[in-house]
Chains A and B, each alone.
Chain A
């Protein structure tokens, strides 16, 4: 907070305002463009929309230019370079990977500000009153894969009940309801549960090529055991899952569960129940840390940028404020799992200081 105050004071002395960036680019430079161009993965769309509304009312900025794409696509576009064609901000459901960061540096995107906003997770749910049992990625893989290994060969998966996989699992038919193919939620589900389930299996260790291995691991069975729900899952899941057979398992973001907690129960994954604590501490397996990344190069010139985009510092101020990510903040009310106050304070100071992100 002290550093933020010092920075605000310096800006005020320079004739600017911490409340709204008013300085434009230097003479001869094109005017700062707005709105801010943001690329997000579907899991962060709602958060970013609400954030944008607050930027409009509080700072008088125009609505965000928001695109929803896969995380890998957003990261690739962000790291392709600087300039008007590239996004100013991206939101990822994970930390930016080292190879992505190296790609950014190679293309001249060097001053990146990381904004650790909070956490989300992909959870398994059943209807209240149904049996609650522990599932692992290995069990999900063997339950839902189109082909499963048997000895040294792969055979068509005709497993019908959970206890066919493991006698400790209940004698219930396998029925899983998740997002339809091609969505970020399904991509994340396949990465954590299907790929995670087949990782380490002897039959897959002989595969050199990751393409062949991933294809065999993640192809879902098409006999009705897995039902894909069309997006938006937050709306459609409720109607479809209420009529699902007894013992059906749903795969949804934690934010969706929190808005339907009155009729859903959570299932533990590998013995860990997803709670705000286990999600924050990264104990739960399917956690997605919500991170925003901002290009400093596009910020105001007084802040080390080229002055090409208007309002980026206000974006940082708003998203890291207690109104947004504090206890009871509007992002938490949308289902975001926020960090502990000391960690939030530390991250806020680093962000307002425009501390560069290193990987």
Chain B
């Protein structure tokens, strides 16, 4: 059983550094440190001249130098002015916790936030002939949109539009390029990439449908979406209006139902 007077001494000895550690995390940002006790602030001294422990008896035996700096002094003396601010162990612990919490949060946030569209746009201008984006371009598709979502589950997607019909010569050339690609790149990702291109070629060579849009999503999970359109789909109203304007035809207005009615 520890005697009461020893417990009191022990508590006092622990209290000061605990209090110093609690105050220091906030104050340490500005370099200004204000001790809890109402004691006169010591003068600014260079680290080489270490004053002996004095003042409150609780400081006795602890090599802690608590210094108070005015902002004017800081500006005159430079960033720290050669003065060393020493933190207690608890203060250092809280500093470390704050630092690692900030680091982990930043890393997670950066990991959850997809790269900017500019980053992807730069990679898509690669000169590598076997680059997937180049193969998609060779298949007659052009990038129309890059979409990114920031969130707990981020999202990155690319939308390609069919802009160029391929001739038989283009298809033969691309298939030969894919054969070379297959000999050179045998990893699963390359197999998937070639499958996407072969799907485009296969559908577009049919008489019924073509892939009007290709959507490639990288996050949260990679996938490719094919939007098929029939070759003989009708014109939209906008395209119909354009065609009539080119042909010099006026659009026939539909008469109201009452005028048509014979009943």
> Footprint of B on A, CB under 8 Å?
72, 94-95, 97-99, 102, 190-192, 195-196, 199, 205, 207-211, 213-214, 282
Contacts and interface: CB of A to CB of B under 8 A. Distances in A.
B102 interface: no
Contacts of B165: 208-211, 213
A211 B198 CA distance: 22
A195 B167 contact: yes
B258 interface: no
Contacts of B206: 99
Given A208-B165, A210-B165, A191 B172 contact: yes
A97 B173 contact: no
Contact of B170 (A195, A205, A211): A195
A136 B175 CA distance: 21
A94 B198 CA distance: 17
B32 interface: no
A335 to B, nearest CB: 22
Contacts of A209: 165
- Top 10 closest pairs, chain A to chain B, by CB: A99-B205, A210-B165, A191-B169, A210-B167, A195-B169, A214-B167, A209-B165, A102-B202, A98-B202, A97-B175
B201 interface: yes
Interface in B187-240: 198, 201-202, 205-206
A191 B171 CA distance: 11
Interface of B: 163-173, 175-176, 179-180, 198, 201-202, 205-206
Nearest to B198: A98
Nearest to A205: B164
Contact of A208 (B164, B175, B201, B202): B164
Main SS at interface, chain B = helix
A195 B174 CA distance: 13
Contacts of A282: 176, 179-180
* Residue from A94, A192, A210, A211 whose CB has the most chain B CB atoms within 10 Å: A210
12 contacts: A72-B168, A97-B175, A98-B175, A99-B202, A191-B168, A195-B169, A208-B164, A208-B165, A210-B166, A210-B167, A210-B170, A211-B167
Nearest to A195: B169
A199 B176 CA distance: 15
A168 to B, nearest CB: 22
Contact of A99 (B171, B176, B180): B171
A95 B180 CA distance: 13
A97 B175 CA distance: 8
* Residue from B165, B167, B180 whose CB has the most chain A CB atoms within 10 Å: B167
A97 B180 contact: no
Nearest to B178: A98
A76 B171 CA distance: 16
Contacts of A214: 167, 169
B87 to A, nearest CB: 64
A95 B175 CA distance: 9
A210 B165 CA distance: 5
B152 to A, nearest CB: 41
Contacts of B176: 282
A207 B164 contact: yes
Contacts of A210: 164-167, 170
A25 B170 CA distance: 44
Contact of A199 (B163, B170, B175): B170
A342 to B, nearest CB: 16
B162 to A, nearest CB: 9
B58 to A, nearest CB: 81
Contacts of A95: 175, 179
B60 to A, nearest CB: 83
A211 B167 CA distance: 7
B108 to A, nearest CB: 42
B124 to A, nearest CB: 16
Given A102-B202, A282-B180, A97 B166 contact: no
Nearest to A214: B167
A99 B167 CA distance: 13
Given A190-B169, A191-B172, A199-B173, 4 more contacts: A97-B171, A195-B173, A211-B167, A282-B179
Nearest to A106: B206
A99 B172 contact: no
A1 to B, nearest CB: 26
A213 B171 contact: no
Contacts of A199: 170, 173
Contacts of B201: 98-99
Contacts of A94: 172
A195 B180 CA distance: 20
Contacts of B179: 95, 282
Contacts of A191: 168-169, 172
Contacts of A99: 171, 201-202, 205-206
Contacts of B175: 95, 97-98
Nearest to A207: B164
A199 B140 CA distance: 12
Contacts of A196: 169, 173
Contact of B172 (A97, A102, A207, A208): A97
B200 to A, nearest CB: 11
Contacts of A102: 202, 205
A191 B205 CA distance: 18
* Residue from B168, B180, B206 whose CB has the most chain A CB atoms within 10 Å: B168
A155 B198 CA distance: 36
A357 to B, nearest CB: 14
A94 B171 CA distance: 12
